[in-house]
Amino acid sequence: MALQKLPLMSIGLLLLLIIVGSPVNADGPVCPPTPSNKLSRAHFPEGFLFGTATAAYQEDVQLMKNLNTDAFRLSISWTRIFPRIIPFVTVFHWDTPQSLENEYGGFLSANIVKDFREYAEYVFQEYGGKVKHWITFNEPWVFAHAGYDVGKKAPGRCSPYAKERTVKGECLGGRSGYEAYLVSHNLLNAHAEAVEAFRQCEKCKGGKIGIAHSPAWFEPHDFKDAQNGATVDRALDFIMGW
């Protein structure tokens, strides 16, 4: 009944929309598939670079390697260059190579010290002529404590009794109260090796290098209580006394 009340032109338009919107059965696809299996580097001129860009570097850099790409596209920020923002480059920000983690346990092993120095030497040689402010490790206390004592950050190690404090309520193996100190020891040795390499780097002359802490300030409950003061000093040493 409602259809009878529609103007003739409206009915025609409605029928046209129904016809256009109906699925069409075809013998095959309208466009032939791209022969990606036949595409190779031979189809491109010599010196052609295959590259891509990413925001999810944790997965995509590995995908780039698997795809055998040559280049990585990144951006230089106009608003950071001209305001004369001085770059402070961090050599290590908790991204231990998975291969070293698998091979000998990453920072649980003293082997990391030599490998980290070689990595730092390479970075200094490549960028030491332009970058004059360097940080060896980002927040080493957080890396050791959260990664090897309470298991909240990678590699998520802790003792079973600490699993309730983790993000997912489980530990990927570990020994709280021991591994965090062992990792801290190796971190400090790796830091010392990197600093020595920096001081021997000719391109790095005039530059500065240090370590970035995660500062937290503590005050005693009772300023007149010597034991309270000693407790505060001990807490500050854990955070900033590296």
Q: How confident is the model at residue 61 (pLDDT cuts 50, 70, 90)?
A: confident
Given 3-state DSSP classes, what are the helix, strand and coil percentages for the chain, each rounded to the nearest 5?
Answer: 50, 10, 40
The two tokens of residue 236 are: 């500050």
Residues sharing a CB contact under 8 Å with residue 184, sequence separation 6 or more, in sequence order: 140, 141, 144, 242
Residue 134, beta-bridge partner list = 89, 209
The residues that bridge with 71 in the sheet, in sequence order, are 51
In angstroms, the CA 198 to CA 128 distance is 9
Mean pLDDT of the chain: 83
The amino acid sitting at 90 is T
Please state which of the ranges 54-68, 114-128, 162-176 shows the lowest mean pLDDT: 54-68
- Residue 93 and residue 138 in contact, taking contact as beta carbons nearer than 8 Å: yes
Tokens 């891509």 identify what position?
Answer: 52
Residue 175 and residue 159 in contact, taking contact as beta carbons nearer than 8 Å? yes
Place of tokens 């005050």: 219
Tell me the torsion sign for CA atoms 198, 116, 107, 67: positive
Q: How confident is the model at residue 18 (pLDDT cuts 50, 70, 90)?
A: very low
With 0-12 / 13-18 / 19 or more C-beta atoms within 10 angstroms meaning exposed / middle / buried, residue 100 is: middle
Q: Residue 236 — φ and ψ, nearest 5°?
A: -65, -35
Q: How far apart are CA 157 and CA 101, in angstroms?
A: 12
d(CA 193, CA 200): 11
In which element (H, E) is residue 146 found? helix 140-148
pLDDT of 3 reads 44
d(CA 128, CA 197): 11
Instruction: For residues 192-213, give the mean pLDDT.
Output: 97
> Taking 70 as the threshold, does the pLDDT of residue 169 lie above it?
yes
pLDDT of residue 192: 99
Residues 206-211 have a mean pLDDT of 96
Residues 6 or more apart in contact with residue 75 via CB below 8 angstroms: none
